[in-house]
Structures are given as structure tokens and as C-alpha cells.
Amino acid sequence: MTTVESSIPLMPTLTIFNRRVTQRIGRAEGMTKRWLITGCSSGLGLALAARLAAEGEQVVATARRSETLDGLVARHPGNVVAAALDVRDPEQCTAAVERAVDAFGGVDVLVNNAAYGQFGTFEEVSDAELAAQFDTNVFGPWRLTRAVLPVWRAQQRGHAVFVSSVAGMVPFPGLAAYTASKFAVEGAAESLAAEAGHLGVKVTILQPGGFATGYSANLVMPEHRIADYVPVNDGMLGALRGMNTKAEINSPELFADVVWRLGQMDAPPLRLPIGPDSEAFLESAYDARRSEYDQVIKAGHHTVS
């Protein structure tokens, strides 16, 4: 995967953009919400965009190749517009927000969905592979949300939705880089919630379990494998690649339904598990962390005697 340099646009450019966007912002009519969604070419993003459009919402659907969205736009004329967006590209992030403002007068909900999985243990993943993973999964949502925030400050409202994973709390062998990126996304989202709540900005972290998407087929393998880790990570790799054949796998339509309902909430939660498997994973993780915490405190390891 080619990595786009994570450069920050010059401040004069940001100032001009912010002023231009603020002048064009309008309010959505009635209860209709205006959504900007990344990663809509397939899977969860496509299912969500289609569901929202069917509900009469206004959607800016994005993908690295916008022509993959032609069918979606054709099925929902007037409700869906497409935009080319590689979240690694700061200029495309700015352009996507401008597209939303031009088309619908603003953005009510941003769904940071675009991501991919880098496979490999901690030692196997190179600096370049780790940087590429973070550029898409962490820096991408950060730079796009940063581009939307001037719109929300002018509107005095907005909802940032970050698609994390159960891996944002539960480490899985062979997914060290992916897990680290999801932990980072959750930390960034919580920081945004603490910093921008007084501006009317709401934040939700989605924690999906396993879904029938192209995630497993699109896993990026590390350039260098280490035989000593085969007993740990090859079982996980096999489970991931066979995930879509399981009868109990969650459907993208479940994700779309949950997020659609989330968008209607006046007081959305900070964290929202999606799928029964997510509930089981997270409950076990919370219990284990609480148990260890209680044991450490009880033993007095946190103080100097």
C-alpha cells in the first residue's frame, strides 16, 4: 500500500477554508440529517449509506474511487452524492467537507469508517507497515474530523462517529498493529468528547464484532514472517479468513440499522458495541481488567511503602 505523506495544510489555507465553509452553512430541513461517511465502496460503509438514503437522509458517500459509488447514487438521486476520498490525503479531506457543505449546507453526522487490517505480530510488523496502518486508521479519521470541526463550531452541533472494533479493547494475536490503531482511535475520540462537548459536538465510538465484509480478504500481510510466531498467529489468520463462512457472522445490515438508530438519539452513548459477539468479548475484557485492578490495589502495588 502506498502511503500518502501525512502533511498538515498550512494555516492560511485552513483559515480561508474555515471562513468559506462558515459562510455557506445552512440548517437541515426538518428532522433530516446530513451524513458524511468514509469507506463506502463496500461492506459496512456501503450498507450504511444505502440504509440512510432509503430513510430519506442526505448522504455524502466517499470512497477512494468514487466511480464505485455510481450505482448507489443512481438508486438514490437527490439523497446521495459521491466524493473521492483517500483519508490519507489532507486536501481530499478538505474537499470532501466542502462537497458536503455545497451539496447539503452542512454536516450533522460524520462516520469515520474507512480502515484496513495489517496482519502480523509485534516483531513482524515493520516501521513502514506500522506507519501505513496508522495513517489510514488513526491519522485519517483525525484529519477528516479536524476538517469538519469548523462546520460544527458554526452550527453549534455535530456528531462524530468513530468505527473502532472489539480490537479497540481486546488484543488479538497477529493483529498488533491493527489493535494498536483501534486503541489509538478510541483515545482520540474520548479526547474530542472532552474538548468539544461544550460546542454541541457529540462523540460515539462503535465497537463492532465480526461482520461479513471484505476485511479478512483484504488483510495486508507483513513482508517478513517469523517462524517462532506461527503457533500464535496462524490460528488467528485461519479464523479471520474463514470468518465469512460462519453462520453466526453479523451482517452489514445489522451495523447499518444500529448506526441509523444511533443518529436519531438525542443523547448518544460514548461507546456502542455492535453484535452479540462484541458484547461477549467486551464484557469479558471489562471483567478481567476490573479483577486485575482490584487485585493490584488490594495488594498495595500502586503505592510505595
Residue 188 near residue 161, CB atoms below 8 Å: no
298 is catalytic: no
Catalytic residue among 33, 41, 164, 278, which?
164
164 is catalytic: yes
Catalytic residue among 33, 41, 178, 216, which?
178
Please list the alpha-helical segments (H only) found in the chain.
Answer: 11-24, 43-54, 70-75, 90-104, 127-134, 140-155, 176-196, 230-241, 252-263, 276-299
Grid coordinates given for 54: 432509503
DSSP state of 57: -
The span from the CA of 153 to the CA of 209, in Å, is 33
Phi, psi at residue 68, to the nearest 5°?
Answer: -70, -10
182 is catalytic: yes
Please list the alpha-helical segments (H only) found in 158-275.
Answer: 176-196, 230-241, 252-263
Residues 6 or more apart whose Cβ sits within 8 Å of residue 169: 183, 186, 207, 281, 282, 285
Maximum pairwise Cα distance, the chain = 70
Catalytic residue among 41, 165, 182, 202, which?
182
Count of Cβ atoms closer than 10 Å to residue 116 Cβ: 17
The span from the CA of 196 to the CA of 189, in Å, is 10
The span from the CA of 13 to the CA of 93, in Å, is 13
What is the distance, to the nearest Å, from the Cα of residue 69 to the centroid of all Cα atoms in its chain?
19
Residues 6 or more apart whose Cβ sits within 8 Å of residue 189: 160, 162, 164, 203, 204, 205, 270
Identify any residues that bridge with 175 across adjacent strands, giving them in sequence order: 120
- Residues catalogued as catalytic: 164, 178, 182
